């Protein structure tokens, strides 16, 4: 249950290492450097380079940015990947990284955005959605809900104070909540719990519009 998190961390670290070896400043890469390496630059993303929505999730704006995000990813991954399973965790990372990038693209007219924080907020969103179900007993649910909301709130406030891209954070969080709701029936089934037909239909009804919105956004941009 803990395989994808280290792989994602290694990919992020490797990308940053290659950037630095190519001459990018280790502490403060320029906007031009980030755009060249695939950051989510609104002008280019909207002009026919939608792949930036995903590549931006593996780029970081300096070694401190990388270190903070990788510590957060490791902490969350150790808790949540065993619960979700590796493939769901990977889907959550990629999907919420994408919704985070879309949130940034929607909010900003001209901006350069990069980092795994949208996906990290997305993983927190997955946990938030699952905490609201009966997967946990009341005491654990209350404790997890309190801690998760506190972490999300504090990180959003930090984002405001340092001028971080909270649009990407909120986009990732919303995507994570949707992913968590979509994953819930499958987790129930793996636990041997019955999955009512209405529940499957409900999550399908929620998930299908989200997929349609993402596909439409990719086609537009």
**Residues noted as catalytic:** 117, 169
Q: What's the rounded Cα separation, in Å, for the pair 138 and 71?
A: 29
CA angle 117, 135, 83 (to 5 degrees): 45
Tracing tokens 């907020």 back to the chain, one arrives at 121
Encoded tokens for 45: 């993303």
Radius of gyration of the chain (CA): 17
Q: Of 46, 27, 43, which is closest to residue 35 (Cα–Cα)?
A: 43
H runs (alpha helix) in the chain: 4-21, 31-37, 42-46, 52-55, 63-84, 86-107, 117-131, 138-162, 166-190, 197-220
Tracing tokens 């493939």 back to the chain, one arrives at 87
Residue 2's CB is within 10 A of a number of other CB atoms, namely: 14
Q: What's the rounded Cα separation, in Å, for the pair 123 and 91?
A: 10
Q: What's the rounded Cα separation, in Å, for the pair 69 and 117?
A: 6
Q: What's the rounded Cα separation, in Å, for the pair 116 and 27?
A: 17
């Amino acid at each position: 249950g803990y395989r994808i998190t280290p792989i994602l961390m290694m990919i992020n670290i490797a990308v940053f290492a290659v950037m630095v070896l190519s001459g990018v400043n280790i502490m403060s890469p320029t906007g031009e450097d980030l755009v060249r390496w695939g950051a989510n630059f609104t002008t280019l993303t909207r002009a026919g380079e939608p792949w930036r929505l995903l590549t931006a999730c593996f780029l970081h704006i300096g070694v401190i940015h990388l270190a903070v995000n990788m510590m957060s990813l490791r902490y969350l991954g150790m808790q949540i990947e065993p619960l979700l399973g590796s493939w769901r965790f990977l889907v959550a990372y990629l999907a919420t990284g994408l919704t985070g990038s879309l949130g940034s693209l929607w909010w900003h007219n001209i901006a350069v955005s990069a980092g795994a924080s949208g996906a990290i907020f997305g993983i927190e969103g997955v946990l938030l959605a699952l905490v609201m179900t009966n997967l946990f007993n009341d005491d654990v649910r209350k404790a997890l809900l309190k801690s998760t909301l506190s972490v999300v709130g504090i990180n959003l406030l930090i984002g405001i104070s340092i001028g971080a891209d909270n649009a990407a954070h909120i986009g990732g969080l919303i995507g994570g909540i949707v992913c968590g709701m979509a994953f819930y029936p499958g987790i129930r089934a793996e636990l041997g719990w019955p999955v009512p037909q209405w529940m499957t239909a409900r999550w399908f009804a929620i998930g299908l519009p989200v997929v349609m919105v993402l596909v439409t956004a990719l086609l537009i941009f």
